Chains A and B, each alone.
Chain A
């Protein structure tokens, strides 16, 4: 049966807000697997680290698989040490950088969407290293996803809801936009739990900035593609946490995956939860990522 997952929270939420979201997911959401841990900025995790044990416990008690994700970009010794500690834990880890893959070699692990898996040979290599589930990059077309999912001897995961991560940098654009230094940023990113809107000079929205990460302004919504992806062999469908009510988002996706709700009706329900944020599905249609095609 198709599994629904909740990807790592990319944004900097207040620790209690973060904890409460996960508690609700544990208690109410039809989600099979939850990814925890900081992917974007290593300065953030200490702020909410103390809450992680109780979040893990609550999710596990609810029967959900819990995975710890690693940073998408690792440069400092402090980050390397933290990653080494994470990869040494008994819990299953999602590797988002080659450094993590090298630490997890020979042990079951998951590779995250920041690992460039564009073809079968790379996929095969990762599986030989111990990957039991492979997340595909957001940039792939539906054709490429299908080719890789069919080929993949282990589980395949694809992001089907939420802002798409488009790039990562050492430079913190949140700090830059707020006129502070990265080293003394005072966590200005917490001002924008939904990311900082970055618009064109015309005023038309384009991107969202989240610290060192740049994301799509629109939510990727692949409800219409779910059946095709299921048929191609995608096993895990990732929802990326947004400020929208993720319990209700999960319920809609679960219903469409189960065939209890058609995709168009699901989309109509989803619009009630997501306000004015536009939807995108260009990448999966083999087009520019920001496009939205209904047919």
Chain B
């Protein structure tokens, strides 16, 4: 385990360029995935091959940083090969850890690469001390990425009773369903985060005009309706507008992004080891700006200084310009 006196900043890299940008901007750790269904951001034009990962690891290690690899989808029956190869490749490229969700893969990684750190993905939805202890005792995980449905006091309570590091989400897009257990995307499109590594894939998204309104659609389903001068959010199923009892509303969650910058001291006090920024699908420029701002705020926090400009930058970069503390906030449930 590294000795980290402050909150470790774990940043997304959808591309080798974004990896270098994140490192240069002050990421302690960068996470990425391979260019296939083995990772939960399996979008066109993203991700790494073995050569790119090896180069990325060299770049990070030369600067004392980490690269960890998300292999966090659930292998298909009869076709586990790509997932095993992904773990083997991550190990061979010198990755500092793999992020896994599937029980069979955790078992494989532990037996085949016992010295490669194993992080439990948020996709495993380990939401209580018993589950986390089970993964630790059975598969020797070093860290758990906590589900995005816990309040700060619940995070603190959980951490006080677990024997592995805790990583929590601090910024970016968040769903409202327990990760790894949501099939709304595949119900509508046939493709899901668990199996295919995609939620609401872009090829199913289209917009159509309906009189004075524009409708955003996912497959054959209308997800939202906007006035022509209104900004349309990406039609993610858990942020669509639905009608219940004749009332149209964002039943699950408004189209907002998570921004936990205002509660970093509380998260640190709760015993959090690492903060994760979501967004491997985002641009290199976005990654650079968010990481720079977080680095500034965290360094300020370590010295007891406030950094209002960096905080303002993060507010401005939240999804759709709207942000939330999501489940961290009391009363969210």
**Do A and B belong to a common assembly?**
yes
C-beta contact mask, A228-261 vs B, less than 8 Å → 1, else 0?
Answer: 0000000000000000000000000000000000
Q: Which of B231-264 contact A (CB under 8 A)?
A: 238, 241-245, 247-249, 251-253
Chain B interface residues (CB < 8 Å from chain A): 74-80, 101-105, 107-108, 124-131, 133-135, 149-150, 154, 176-178, 180-184, 186-190, 192, 194-195, 215, 219, 221-225, 238, 241-245, 247-249, 251-253, 327, 331-333
Given contacts A98-B131, A173-B252, A200-B221, contact A182 B333 (CB under 8 A): yes
Give the A-B pair count, Cβ closer than 8 A. 202
Question: Are A288 and B219 interface neighbours, CB within 8 A?
Answer: yes
* Given A97-B131, A102-B133, A287-B190, 5 extra CB contacts under 8 A: A122-B102, A124-B104, A166-B183, A169-B177, A206-B242
C-beta contact mask, A86-103 vs B, less than 8 Å → 1, else 0?
Answer: 000000000001110111
A181 at the binding interface (Cβ < 8 Å): yes
Question: Are B134 and A168 interface neighbours, CB within 8 A?
Answer: no
Chain B CB within 10 Å — which of A164, A169, A181, A206 has the most?
A: A169
Closest partner residue, chain A, to B129 (CB atom): A80
Closest partner residue, chain A, to B80 (CB atom): A119
Query: In the complex, what's the smallest C-beta–C-beta distance from B167 to chain A, in angstroms?
Result: 18
Give Cα distance in the complex from A102 to B103, angstroms: 13
Given contacts A72-B181, A75-B154, contact A144 B77 (CB under 8 A): yes
Question: Are A171 and B130 interface neighbours, CB within 8 A?
Answer: no
> Across the interface, which residues of A come within 8 angstroms of B104, CB to CB?
119-125
Contact among A125, A198, A201 with B103 in the assembled complex (CB-CB below 8 Å): A125
> Across the interface, which residues of A come within 8 angstroms of B331, CB to CB?
181
Q: Is the interface of A mostly helix, strand, loop or mixed?
A: mixed
Closest partner residue, chain B, to A151 (CB atom): B77
Closest partner residue, chain B, to A103 (CB atom): B130
Contact among A102, A119, A124, A198 with B75 in the assembled complex (CB-CB below 8 Å): A119
Query: In the complex, what's the smallest C-beta–C-beta distance from A93 to chain B, in angstroms?
Result: 14
**Can you name 9 A-B pairs with beta carbons within 8 Å?**
A73-B125, A73-B127, A99-B130, A99-B134, A102-B134, A167-B184, A170-B178, A171-B252, A209-B251
Contact among B182, B244, B253 with A167 in the assembled complex (CB-CB below 8 Å): B182
Give Cα distance in the complex from A202 to B238, angstroms: 17
Question: Are B244 and A209 interface neighbours, CB within 8 A?
Answer: yes
A7 at the binding interface (Cβ < 8 Å): no
Q: Which of A147-195 contact B (CB under 8 A)?
A: 147-148, 151, 164, 166-173, 175-177, 181-183
Closest partner residue, chain A, to B187 (CB atom): A289
Contact among B79, B101, B127 with A75 in the assembled complex (CB-CB below 8 Å): B127
Query: In the complex, what's the smallest C-beta–C-beta distance from B173 to chain A, in angstroms?
Result: 16
Q: Which of A244-295 contact B (CB under 8 A)?
A: 282-283, 286-291
Question: Are A139 and B131 interface neighbours, CB within 8 A?
Answer: no
Contact among B107, B124, B182, B215 with A121 in the assembled complex (CB-CB below 8 Å): B107
Contact among B126, B154, B182 with A166 in the assembled complex (CB-CB below 8 Å): B182
Chain A interface residues (CB < 8 Å from chain B): 72-75, 79-80, 83, 97-99, 101-103, 114, 116, 118-126, 138-140, 143-144, 147-148, 151, 164, 166-173, 175-177, 181-183, 196-204, 206-207, 209, 214, 216, 282-283, 286-291
Question: Are A171 and B77 interface neighbours, CB within 8 A?
Answer: no
Give Cα distance in the complex from A204 to B217, angstroms: 13
> Across the interface, which residues of A come within 8 angstroms of B248, CB to CB?
201
> Across the interface, which residues of B come within 8 angstroms of A289, CB to CB?
183, 186-188, 190
Closest partner residue, chain B, to A98 (CB atom): B131
Query: In the complex, what's the smallest C-beta–C-beta distance from B290 to chain A, in angstroms?
Result: 26
Question: Are A73 and B178 interface neighbours, CB within 8 A?
Answer: yes
Question: Are B251 and A126 interface neighbours, CB within 8 A?
Answer: no
Closest partner residue, chain A, to B135 (CB atom): A98
- Which 5 residue pairs across A and B have the least CB separation, nearest first? A121-B104, A102-B134, A170-B149, A118-B74, A289-B187
Question: Are A167 and B243 interface neighbours, CB within 8 A?
Answer: no
> Across the interface, which residues of B come within 8 angstroms of A97, CB to CB?
128, 131
Question: Are A170 and B327 interface neighbours, CB within 8 A?
Answer: yes
Question: Are A116 and B150 interface neighbours, CB within 8 A?
Answer: no
Closest partner residue, chain A, to B137 (CB atom): A102
Question: Are A170 and B150 interface neighbours, CB within 8 A?
Answer: yes
Give Cα distance in the complex from A79 to B103, angstroms: 23
Give Cα distance in the complex from A102 to B184, angstroms: 28
> Across the interface, which residues of B come within 8 angstroms of A79, CB to CB?
128
Contact among A168, A181, A199 with B242 in the assembled complex (CB-CB below 8 Å): A199
> Across the interface, which residues of A come within 8 angstroms of B221, CB to CB?
200, 204, 206, 290
> Across the interface, which residues of A come within 8 angstroms of B333, CB to CB?
170-172, 175, 182-183
Give Cα distance in the complex from A182 to B221, angstroms: 29
Contact among A177, A200, A201, A290 with B245 in the assembled complex (CB-CB below 8 Å): A177
Question: Are B188 and A290 interface neighbours, CB within 8 A?
Answer: yes
Query: In the complex, what's the smallest C-beta–C-beta distance from A182 to chain B, in angstroms?
Result: 4
